[in-house]
Amino acid sequence: MTTSSHHHHPSEPPTAHPSASGKGTGSPSFDPIAVADDLARTFAATAIERDKLGGTAKRERDQLRASGLLALSVPTSLGGHGRSWSLVLDVVRRLARVDGSLAHLFGFHHLLLGTARLFSPEAQWAPWLRSTVEHSWFWGNALNPLDTRTTIVARDGLTHLQTHPQTHQIDGQKSFCSGASDSDRLVVSALDPDKRLVVAVVPTTRAGILILDDWDNMGQRQTDSGQVRFEGVVVDESEILRQPGPLGSVFASLRPCIAQLVLTNVYLGLGEGALDEGARWTRGNGRPWVTSGVERPSDDPYVLHHAGEFWVALAGARALADAAARQLDEAWGRGDALTAAERADTALGIGTAKVAATRAGLAVASGIFEITGARATAARAGLDRFWRNLRTHTLHDPVDYRLRELGRWVLTGAPPRPSFYS
Amino acid sequence: MTTSSHHHHPSEPPTAHPSASGKGTGSPSFDPIAVADDLARTFAATAIERDKLGGTAKRERDQLRASGLLALSVPTSLGGHGRSWSLVLDVVRRLARVDGSLAHLFGFHHLLLGTARLFSPEAQWAPWLRSTVEHSWFWGNALNPLDTRTTIVARDGLTHLQTHPQTHQIDGQKSFCSGASDSDRLVVSALDPDKRLVVAVVPTTRAGILILDDWDNMGQRQTDSGQVRFEGVVVDESEILRQPGPLGSVFASLRPCIAQLVLTNVYLGLGEGALDEGARWTRGNGRPWVTSGVERPSDDPYVLHHAGEFWVALAGARALADAAARQLDEAWGRGDALTAAERADTALGIGTAKVAATRAGLAVASGIFEITGARATAARAGLDRFWRNLRTHTLHDPVDYRLRELGRWVLTGAPPRPSFYS
Amino acid sequence: MTTSSHHHHPSEPPTAHPSASGKGTGSPSFDPIAVADDLARTFAATAIERDKLGGTAKRERDQLRASGLLALSVPTSLGGHGRSWSLVLDVVRRLARVDGSLAHLFGFHHLLLGTARLFSPEAQWAPWLRSTVEHSWFWGNALNPLDTRTTIVARDGLTHLQTHPQTHQIDGQKSFCSGASDSDRLVVSALDPDKRLVVAVVPTTRAGILILDDWDNMGQRQTDSGQVRFEGVVVDESEILRQPGPLGSVFASLRPCIAQLVLTNVYLGLGEGALDEGARWTRGNGRPWVTSGVERPSDDPYVLHHAGEFWVALAGARALADAAARQLDEAWGRGDALTAAERADTALGIGTAKVAATRAGLAVASGIFEITGARATAARAGLDRFWRNLRTHTLHDPVDYRLRELGRWVLTGAPPRPSFYS
Amino acid sequence: MTTSSHHHHPSEPPTAHPSASGKGTGSPSFDPIAVADDLARTFAATAIERDKLGGTAKRERDQLRASGLLALSVPTSLGGHGRSWSLVLDVVRRLARVDGSLAHLFGFHHLLLGTARLFSPEAQWAPWLRSTVEHSWFWGNALNPLDTRTTIVARDGLTHLQTHPQTHQIDGQKSFCSGASDSDRLVVSALDPDKRLVVAVVPTTRAGILILDDWDNMGQRQTDSGQVRFEGVVVDESEILRQPGPLGSVFASLRPCIAQLVLTNVYLGLGEGALDEGARWTRGNGRPWVTSGVERPSDDPYVLHHAGEFWVALAGARALADAAARQLDEAWGRGDALTAAERADTALGIGTAKVAATRAGLAVASGIFEITGARATAARAGLDRFWRNLRTHTLHDPVDYRLRELGRWVLTGAPPRPSFYS
């Protein structure tokens, strides 16, 4: 139990143990929370400037590589830290408090490692994960099922009747390829001649892969979520995730659950970060309103009211996100024994948390200015980046459809149908 | 992990174990959750009719006496079930899903037992709790610090310089005395000549106690929260809770935490009950809107949206209430070793949950009709009782002041100051 | 311009002239606003008691008959007051501030008079309206297009190929027949053998009409909105509204516009009434919260905040409702020259006002208790009736579908398709 | 009445005449609405780029000078267009739909002209206004009562006992001086030795005035709201507004009313602009969500719902703003006959509109992305500028204190106390 004899960091629930994360079984001397908090402090120092610049956060990506955190979810047998999803997500949230872009890239790196584990047999993914630890690989994303412009065909002239020709070729273009720039491995999706989704893992340096570096958005500006072009990119059969393939089993269908919970924790961290920074600004610079009759903003009844509201919203989302992470850990631990009903429970828990984090994050990021007052709108304060990041990222897939899914389950008991978005 | 292969009761989170409660150490054959759910089914059958009638739910109170649930929090060494606050609060919530009044009376019975334990030494409270088990006593409330019309004076002519005369006399009147009617023991507060609050435990049958049975409110209609008059009621020194007395130690100041968390779980149960009944009504009687183009309400996108929203709101409040109950269990277990900082954490966690439950409960109880449509406003459906109960009960103390307390802590780190309301 | 040197009635906007209504051209000595306010005061004295009783407000209906207000919309040439819809709706709102049921019955009386005028030629409706003035007829509703259990067939053996046999027979049952009890004329709808909607005006005393008096709802308890049974009710061809018939022309399709604006003004009046009564209660009985540090509730920053919020919500809805009423007056004045585009504008303005009034009304009626505090939940205060009335009445048709209609227009320019609900 | 046979621009209410503005009495051939709409189209073409650049919108300011719109509120007798505040505010709103900064500068120019008229006698202000027309002066703001760092002292050695020495000297610094850059006249406030606020009108080129051009904020980026330094700036007695002086009469206390209503219309225009641009984007680029089952976003029930909600919120704020503008016109027309009660009514109406516009604007500007989807977050779409502009500008003074003022009036009838912010 934490104490409140000194001032809590507002992103720390008064109730919580220092970290909501399970401890995992990995290298005991490695304290990922401490490492993450250190990195977060480093990232914070330049976050406002880098948000302005956009582009690839090369130095910070290398700091992540050097930190060991990219090996967090890799089994200890392969040299990794063997930590739980709960812990990975806790780190995502801590990074997001100061930098939504890096939090997203970090979370998706582990999602992509998990994708390999879910969609292919251990014999296939184990070497990739071992190399990830050895070479500090950063994985990037080119798996965007909504963008159907990329195709894969057999390269050796065999028809699609032969399901496994030895080499293939990918052509086309993909948008929203977060973290492709400066990545070491790319997870790529493409449609085969039968319009089936094929997912492969390839080195980013593979000939024919062109990263367009064309991401210029209002938020999440250093996620490099631009387009990647594929021109005759050769892919070996051994690089394709066939067994069980994309969403090819109940267990494999945990993939979107992980993705959604990464997003959830980015949103939550951004909301917490907005409250942290807004409260700090107010303590340092805030002035009471001229007719408030009080001496400090922290005596103003309306300022206190807003702060209380923000806290309650974030605390609720956090409690749901933590519970959902525990569900995910449990479901992950079930492996191929995972049932459809258990998967549904996990998806519902995660969906609930995601809606709450979306709402809480946006409310805090927009509302925090009611606490700080007008002078906190100075560009140098950078306080608008939380809203811009949240607003951009919360559109990944519509929260309205998450609510529809939850509502259907409440009214009819029908579970969400697994897809890349639910 | 529950399964969703069959339809979840919407009040069961998809993630949860069947009960959020700790198991406690008491009589292993006694399953309080099963007993509570049985009772809840019984109460549900007459809830609408009893809401209309108001007055004392004598038969249901006797069913609670017979159920053994009134001994739930009593230590096993005294013949009770020795269960945790988490479990008591889980039962409160389950009862509140069908009957907010009985849930409140049940919760306050345990709060009053806890009050004796917090404000007096074991030698004093142990016999009361043992008798509570033996005689199935139901405790009632006449402790209302806001109503200062009741006084206590030494009866034997001693001045207040002698702090412990042997007999005292209470005179005056108190409002909001929930559960006083048909109670066996009353916890009474009064002001001594120095305006200090004195709390005593007396038999409800004590001469001079007049229960006015004048509770006629828009909601919580069977809580008997009317007035009690005291006319020369003799109280023995041994009945007064002196060591450490009301809020007389850090541990004793857990009392309002328990009270607030009982309220929280009543609100949450009422919200869950509204969703349960509304969803059931809609499945059984609902018709799609004429221009919706769908065949069943559960295919209407707006109906699903509302149901999803209600679910998310309740799930967030539930996660916070469960976490707060775990905090309370832990704080209770610390006994006199409890520090002010630990108490503050507990109070903040409970305050957070209370705000969330207030908001979620009211939103669902008023909004559920968007799902059911107009015909569910028939008096026989009784669906308005959830809002009336919530609206009445959520005014116990203003949620605005709970938010102020949370906001102050967020901005300054100042803990809530213990009082009977925080 | 009103002055604020004395205290405004909160339902009076600070900006407004005493009445938003046009003056009309009728009997100049008749001041309908003064008459309505007098009646409202009378109704207020018994509103809480009558809400409890439910049933037919016979005495109050007779007071409305005696007041002359039932002739408000009847042309002066037929002996009526010839006032505008704006004025009729202003009276609806004033009555709703104290009694939602009577406001609804009064508004629907005029809607039914308007229905005759819209669906039939003047030669047909003029005698009915003249008699309405002469005999103080109160019109009641049995036109419910969603309830298809009532049929009309030719009574003289003619087939439906002959469209106008001289006598017809209505059989079946209708729900939600507001104001049928104690009415003098009923507007009835039924389906002919070709499933076309037929609307007729008949004396309520016609043989075979059975008013079931079975309305027992959580709100709007004196609207007598129960069922009516028709057993071989003979209807003459001259009683059927054929030219242009139900929604049979652009002008005739103003009918649902009027209906929706009556509802809007009932909602708005109920919201204003809740604020009026809550504010009055607070001035008379309110106590500041114990930790507020202020002496009166009206110095509590949160109480003021809620009151401000309620005011803004109601003021916005009122401004929209007043603008919509002016649109309706203008559209009504256009008669058969009314174009589809003009009708669409009117419907959109009314739909906008209705959504706003629904939201504002519910928010105030549920939230007003944050101002009054717990003691205002006493049954004798009757303050919950505003929420119960609003909640019941706002389900007439789903506000979600009104929003869909508005959203479609915003995005595509498509006008709402005229129906009995839009 | 407009027609909806073609598609309404969403910022045009379906009910409204083309312009809500009064016609005024000025040069009949000058159509300010047409001129404003032309300018708005021109500004729109570069708005996204200029938002990025920040700094002084020199070209656009000159286009405003050339347009004649800076003479809009100047009496015809002095060569101006003699139009009403309603019309000026309508132009503010139209400009704000595409460019919040220019709208603000334009509105404050007229506010500053009005300030001269309210705080000084006609003989003093008439020449200034005449020159404003002749030389197309743009007025800028250095009147910020919250910033007390600027002082004024008698320059000719006279003590403050002589209230009117002939020359004075201003020293110090002021923040939030919107529109000072590139202005022709500045309205400056400073504190005299008795701490009384003194307001003067001086040429911006006056020696000692240093415009720091240091405005770099997250929103309203071309308002030049940076700091101005005054170093021994000589001011002649004839440049000081003494009769009746700042807020020196009831009529003079209309000044903050005008300021608040300018802000209100900037907020409203920004909200309307967000809906316009979001809807246009969606029509042109939007894609339906993959599981929506519809072909176009405008068939998606949730997209329609959001659009409907946005429309209702803006329509309510617009109706209030238009009503408040009519109140202001009327109050302005009363001149020195204006009573305190009339002024209070005006202030309350404006305050109500301001709260509604704040809420509606922010809700639309943040929520519009629910309609457009993720791809509209591209920097080139510039859709975030509406939120950034609104968020920045709505902090001018806290909406919480506007609500407190309204709440106090509702509960007690106490009028707002005139100040520079109410």
Query: CB neighbours of C56 closer than 8 A, spacing ≥ 6?
Result: C181, C182, C213, C222, C224
At C107-139, the pLDDT tens digits run: 999 999 999 999 999 999 999 999 999 999 999
CA gap D301, B307 in Å, rounded:
15
Q: What's the pLDDT at D155?
A: 85
* Closest by CA position to A276, among listed A314, A221, A219: A314
- How many Å separate Cα C113 from the centre of its chain? 13
Q: Which residues pair with A209 in a beta bridge?
A: A230
Contact between B411 and A297 using a beta-carbon 8 Å cutoff: yes
CA distances from A16 to A2, A364, B265, C288, D320 (A): 7, 21, 20, 35, 47
* Mean pLDDT (whole number) for D297-326: 98
As a whole number, the mean pLDDT across chain A is 92
Q: How does pLDDT run across D370-405, given as a tens digit for each residue?
A: 999 999 999 999 999 999 999 999 999 999 999 999
Answer for the pair D357, D264: CB distance below 8 angstroms, yes or no. yes
- The answer to which of A8-17, A326-335, D92-101, D288-297 has the lowest mean pLDDT is A8-17
Per-residue model confidence (pLDDT) at position D13: 43
How far away is chain D from the Cα of C22, in angstroms, using its nearest Cα?
17
Of A46-60, A288-302, D75-89, D148-162, give the lowest mean pLDDT range: D148-162
Of all residues in chain D, the percent with pLDDT exceeding 90 is 88
Question: Residue C159 pLDDT more than 60?
Answer: no
Q: H or E element: which one contains D352?
A: helix D340-367
pLDDT at residue C16 tops 50: no
pLDDT of residue C81: 97
pLDDT of D78 over the 70 cut:
yes
- Name the band, by pLDDT with cuts 50, 70 and 90, for residue C286: confident
Q: Nearest chain B residue to A302 by CA: give it.
A: B404
Going by their DSSP bridges, the two strands D151-154 and D167-174 should be labelled as antiparallel
Q: Counting beta carbons within 10 angstroms of the beta carbon of residue D134, is it exposed (0 to 12), middle (13 to 18) or buried (19 or more)?
A: exposed
**Is A355 in contact with B2 (Cβ distance < 8 A)?**
no
- Among A153-157, B394-398, C345-349, D411-415, which stretch is predicted with the lowest mean pLDDT? A153-157
Residue C23's pLDDT is 41
pLDDT at B155: 85
Which pair of tokens denotes residue A186? 């790319």
Residue B20: list chain A partners with CB under 8 A.
none
What's the mean pLDDT when you consider all of chain C? 92
CA distance A319 to A13: 9
> Which chain D residues in 45-104 lie under 8 Å from chain C, judged by CB atoms?
none
Q: Using CB atoms within 10 A of its CB, is residue A297 exposed (0-12), middle (13-18) or buried (19+)?
A: buried
For β-strands B197-203 and B185-191, DSSP reports them as antiparallel
Residue range A295-309: mean pLDDT, rounded = 97
B123: Cβ contacts below 8 Å, ≥ 6 apart:
none
Residue A294: name the closest of D400, D256, C288 by CA: D400
Q: How many CB atoms within 10 Å of residue D59? A: 12
Cα distance between residue A116 and residue A129, in whole Å: 9
Closest to D10 measured CA to CA, from C408, C320, C400: C408
CB contact (8 A) between residue B316 and residue A311: no
Residue C97 has φ and ψ, to the nearest 5°, of -60, -30
C307 chain-D contacts, CB cut-off 8 A: 406-408, 410-411
Q: Taking the C-alpha atoms of A386, A390, A392 and A398 in order, what is their torsion angle to the nearest 10 degrees?
A: -170
Q: Which residues of B touch A411 (CB under 8 A)?
A: 279, 282-283, 297-298, 303-304, 307, 371
Residue A29 pLDDT level (bands cut at 50, 70, 90): confident
Please judge whether B217 and C378 are an interchain contact, meaning their C-beta atoms are less than 8 angstroms apart.
yes
Q: Identify how many contiguous H helices and E strands chain D contains and give both numbers.
A: 11, 7
Instruction: Kindly give the parts of chain B with pLDDT less than 50.
Output: 1-11, 13-25
State the residue for tokens 């004395």. Answer: C6
Q: How far apart are CA B268 and CA B314, in angstroms?
A: 7
What does the pLDDT average to over C309-333? 98
Task: State whether A305 and B4 contact (CB < 8 Å).
Answer: no
Q: Is B349 on the interface with A (CB under 8 A)?
A: yes
Torsion angles phi and psi, residue A267, rounded to 5: -60, -45
Q: How far is A406 from chain C (nearest CA, A)?
A: 19
- Please give the C-alpha separations between residue B147 and each of B116, B142, B176, B190, B421, in angstroms, as whole numbers: 20, 10, 9, 9, 13
C-alpha distances (whole Å) from B50 to each of B60, B178, B384 are 10, 17, 14
pLDDT in tens, C185-221: 999 999 999 999 999 999 999 999 999 999 999 999 9
- d(C-alpha B110, C-alpha B330), whole Å: 17
Cβ–Cβ < 8 Å for A279, A339:
no
Work out the minimum CA distance from D411 to partner chain A, whole angstroms.
19
Residue B305 touches partner D, C-beta closer than 8 Å? yes
The verdict on a CB contact (< 8 Å) between C395 and B374 is: yes
CA gap C267, C389 in Å, rounded: 9
Would you state the pLDDT for residue A27?
A: 61
Share of chain A above pLDDT 90, in %: 88
Q: How confident is the model at residue C20 (pLDDT cuts 50, 70, 90)?
A: very low
Residue to substitute from B213, B217, B225, B362, interface C, most C β-carbons within 10 A: B217
**pLDDT bracket for residue A144 (50, 70, 90):** confident
Cβ(C356)–Cβ(C322) below 8 Å: no
pLDDT at D159: 54
> Distance from C376 to chain D by nearest Cα, in Å?
16
Q: How far is A301 from chain C (nearest CA, A)?
A: 7
Identify whether the C-beta of residue B187 lies closer than 8 Å to the C-beta of residue B200. yes
Q: What is the pTM of this model?
A: 0.95
Eight-class DSSP state of C7: P
- Residues 274-293 of chain A with CB under 8 A from chain B are 275, 279, 282-283
